[in-house]
Amino acid sequence: MVEPTITRIALAPSNDVPNNPELPVVLYKGAFDSGGPDETCAMLKANGWTGTWVYTVFPYHHYHPDAHEALAVASGSARLQLGGPGGRTVAVEAGDALVLPAGTGHCRVAQSEDFRICGAYPPGQEGYSTRRKGEMQAGDRAAIAGVPLPETDPILGMAGPLRGIWRNLH
């Protein structure tokens, strides 16, 4: 088992992107040995996260008001901006992952040609909505606050740090 470096990233709300005032983004550096997209998605599924897909991150600021999202880097590398315009930019590469709490703005700034991620959601949150920066709706902040916490860590399962980090804040 790989021992990742875990970083918590708190993001303040803005007028364009709500972010999540209660829960930080959790960044896992060097969390797993990537065998490519199929193996990466299988890891997320084995840890109880569903609705997997393989793609990249949209090149525009967006967020999901009704779902937490795991992004596991299956191949390549990228720079992602979290929190909306003026937010924090992070560099990720194969074997890294992020868990974005509902409402967290994210956008691809740059990527290698082979950059692919596997995305996944806690059970019941696969039917998520996507809002672009500036498309916030009246009920989004309440929806974000009401999204249930996941039962498992998408990267490290029941023993992973996500449940402890988020439950201790909630």
Structure-block tokens of residue 29: 């550096």
Q: Which of 62, 57, 165, 27 is nearest to 119 (CA)?
A: 57
- On the question of pLDDT at 9 being above 70, the answer is yes
As a whole number, the mean pLDDT across the chain is 95
**Band (1; pLDDT cuts 50, 70, 90):** low
> What does the pLDDT average to over 55-60?
97
| 50: three-class secondary structure by DSSP | strand
Give me the residue spans of the domains in the chain.
5-150
Q: Which CATH superfamily includes the segment(s) 5-150? A: Jelly Rolls (2.60.120.10)
Nearest-angstrom CA–CA distance, 24 and 120: 18
* 106-156 per-position pLDDT tens digit: 999 999 999 999 999 999 999 999 999 989 899 999 999 999 999 999 999
Contact 67, 146 (CB under 8 A): no
SS3 at position 128 = coil
**Other C-beta atoms within 10 Å of 91: how many?**
12
Count of CB atoms situated within 10 Å of the CB of 142: 9
* Strand partners for 155: none
**Distance separating the N- and C-terminal Cα atoms of the chain:** 29
What is the average pLDDT across 16-31?
A: 96
**pLDDT score recorded for residue 168:** 77
Place 69 in a pLDDT band, splitting at 50, 70 and 90: very high
